[in-house]
Structure 1
């Protein structure tokens, strides 16, 4: 029961330090608190994911980043389109003349101009660069969506694993408590030595400490999930004991690696960054080239004073601007962009290698998970048989209480390991699909089919 971790911890502390108050009143109060904290409906993986899509800060940041990147296209296009400028002036002039004496008059005018770039290699390259900027933005956003699916799934199953640890710790403690009580009774009738009782007491105290640590870890895992969804979750659906163990399709690590190198979204974003850097070099080199603009303008000027007149001027011109020397700035900027291109290429190579490693690790993780699940299922059968044999030996005096408790602990640990292995199998499958660029919300729905409501919900 994930949401009950704080209450359970309080009850353990009461049980340890105030045994004299372990009466029906406190038990009834504690039970009422549990019932009050228990939600009407447990949440499944898809519900958690849908909430995360709305609330996750990292995904919201990715959305904003993509929207910002999309402004690169109109910004680049603006460098190829006409620019229209309007200017006006109004002057109040006082004039002293030997002919006409002192006078005050106004000068007014306006200037309307349209500038159309005819040749601007920098603007052309900026527009071409915007194509790769949009590709990078889409790939980065898609990778963020896939990363959210994986983060939600990892956090969800980490909560379930932490809950399993609590349940197994609690079951182990209860078993030790029963054996401790049996040891006390057997000691009272002289069947065992006091050392067996002390060993049982020590193991029980250790079990209590283990349970407290497990409850704390469960609370921590819930906090991690809260970071993604912005909400606290009291109860989650559990994974069924039987889930299909399916091998990756297509089979073969190399096939999955080839798919990942073509479709991995983070790698696509890194490759787009290389193309952006290439265009940045061209943009900087363009500052060495001349620009040609066509300028259309109309001007009106109304001049007062002794020579008052008004005139209109319309003109069309072609302006050539040739950069001669900028103090070495342009050359330095070209060198800078060339080094940044090398940087982006190395980052893309790192992303390529990481993609290959992630794919191969996840593929092996899926196959290993299948083998581990099958092996642990068999191990539980043999471990349970061993426990029954040990308990029988304890009854006839050939095995000690420690042997029984160790056998019980081994069974509980095997069950916990089996549950954790099932979670890891699912997560590795998701990691494999994320590396291949094929992870989608449909995978959440497929997993959701194998989740079930807890008996305690």
Structure 2
């Protein structure tokens, strides 16, 4: 009886063989399914458009226009012309206009740099979102797996307590037991049934969470993976790797660049701007005929003197945001270092807990078998047997939790390193990225070619 406990635990983990739904398969399905990741990708593409918008500030705007008017007058009535004179003329004009800022104290260049940094930050946000999603998938995966193991363990407990209850009744019938033994067995069976129902509820909740992330219901799960090979050999190496490549840190660096460029753009508003403008067109009137071709070319230089405090406020705000971006970056460094250390310690702790739990399970099995034999010989009571089974159950639950914690801590460390991504894990998916889109939208003349076509 006692030996079947671990048998059920192993069966709950490995059932399904080659058809098992591996962690890699779950991560792959979640990557393709996750709406949050698609949302981050769309946000990055929207951020890329800011580059084209910033570049347009110093590029010409050309527009064509055509307009028409009909003018009429009614002359004053007189004795000779009692109805007055009516005169009507029609005029049509058509032309092109041209406007371009040729100098704005390098404000546009700063805005372009800010837009590029913002697009880069949005790309790193995709990677950050990707890591959060994949880690949540691993947690959901292991919750389903551990809850299935707990259900199997609870079912085994029910079988054991049912057998002990029947044994107590049989012993009572032949005068070798007491009603207390029967009552104790009944109480433990009731507790076991309640624990079984709680385990089923926990399993259903974890399955729903799994399906939310992965898009399909969990089938036969297997916690086997080989991603531990991505973990550095030492804690210091792990911290160094995280500080260089974690997307949250790279994002914070890009945010600093964007804030610095924003500050430069705000300061540039104090300087002069120069622009040129022109137009060319022709007109046609019903009475005068063609008016020929006319044109205009002009320039404008503007120097700000006073703007109601708006310029100074914008500079101060930009400087504050730059300082804030640097503070946020320091916070990101601290959080990543703490996450690496915590995950590293979690793996070490889980290893120790697994070793201790395995020893406890093995010892509890032997104790339970010995107590059952002694009870049969009359030197132990049914309560001793029930308590020994409870000890075995506690040790088994500890082993389940420790094994789950080891897997979650491993993937948590990969996330803290910045390596819980589809590329690093080698998932068979097309990596979601806005880099290609960003390169394409920087072609600011595409709009003109589209019109020409």
Give the TM-score range, shorter chain: 0.7 to 0.9
Provide the rounded CA distance (Å) in 2 between the counterparts of 1:440 and 1:359.
Answer: 16
The residue aligned with 1:281 is 263
Provide the rounded CA distance (Å) in 1 between the counterparts of 2:149 and 2:56.
Answer: 59
Query: Does the alignment pair 1:258 with 2:236?
Result: no
Query: Does the alignment pair 1:170 with 2:155?
Result: yes
Q: Deviations along 1:100-123, whole A, 9 cap, x unmatched?
A: 964211232233122232112332
Map residues 21-420 of structure 1 onto 2, 5 A cutoff: 42-95=20-73, 102-120=86-104, 121-233=106-218, 235-239=219-223, 249-302=231-284, 310-420=291-401
Provide the rounded CA distance (Å) in 2 between the counterparts of 1:66 and 1:380.
Answer: 51
Secondary structure, in 3 states, of the residue corresponding to 2:274? strand
Do the aligned residues in 2 keep the contact of 1:162 with 1:217 (CA within 8 Å)? Answer: yes
Call closer, same or farther: CA 1:108–1:249 in 2, change over 3 Å. Answer: closer
Provide the rounded CA distance (Å) in 2 between the counterparts of 1:331 and 1:298.
Answer: 39
Shift of residue 244, structure 1, vs aligned partner: 8.4
The residue aligned with 1:33 is none
Do the aligned residues in 1 keep the contact of 2:72 with 2:86 (CA within 8 Å)? Answer: yes
Call closer, same or farther: CA 1:389–1:62 in 2, change over 3 Å. Answer: same
Q: How many residues align?
A: 403
Q: Which has the larger displacement, 176-185 or 363-372?
A: 363-372
The residue aligned with 2:409 is 428
* Structure 1: gaps (5+ residues): 1-37, 447-457
Call closer, same or farther: CA 1:320–1:445 in 2, change over 3 Å. Answer: closer
Shift of residue 246, structure 1, vs aligned partner: 6.5
Q: Deviations along 1:39-68, whole A, 9 cap, x unmatched?
A: x95533233222222222211212221222
Call closer, same or farther: CA 1:282–1:118 in 2, change over 3 Å. Answer: same
Call closer, same or farther: CA 1:89–1:247 in 2, change over 3 Å. Answer: closer
TM-score (norm 1): 0.81
Call closer, same or farther: CA 1:249–1:107 in 2, change over 3 Å. Answer: closer
Do the aligned residues in 1 keep the contact of 2:231 with 2:414 (CA within 8 Å)? Answer: no
Provide the rounded CA distance (Å) in 2 between the counterparts of 1:172 and 1:335.
Answer: 68
Q: Deviations along 1:112-161, whole A, 9 cap, x unmatched?
A: 12223211233221111122112111111112222222111111111001
TM-score (norm 2): 0.81
Q: Deviations along 1:175-228, whole A, 9 cap, x unmatched?
A: 111111111111112212211111111111111111101100100001111211
Do the aligned residues in 2 keep the contact of 1:57 with 1:228 (CA within 8 Å)? Answer: no
Call closer, same or farther: CA 1:65–1:304 in 2, change over 3 Å. Answer: same
Do the aligned residues in 2 keep the contact of 1:150 with 1:431 (CA within 8 Å)? Answer: yes
Shift of residue 237, structure 1, vs aligned partner: 2.0
Provide the rounded CA distance (Å) in 1 between the counterparts of 2:45 and 2:210.
Answer: 27
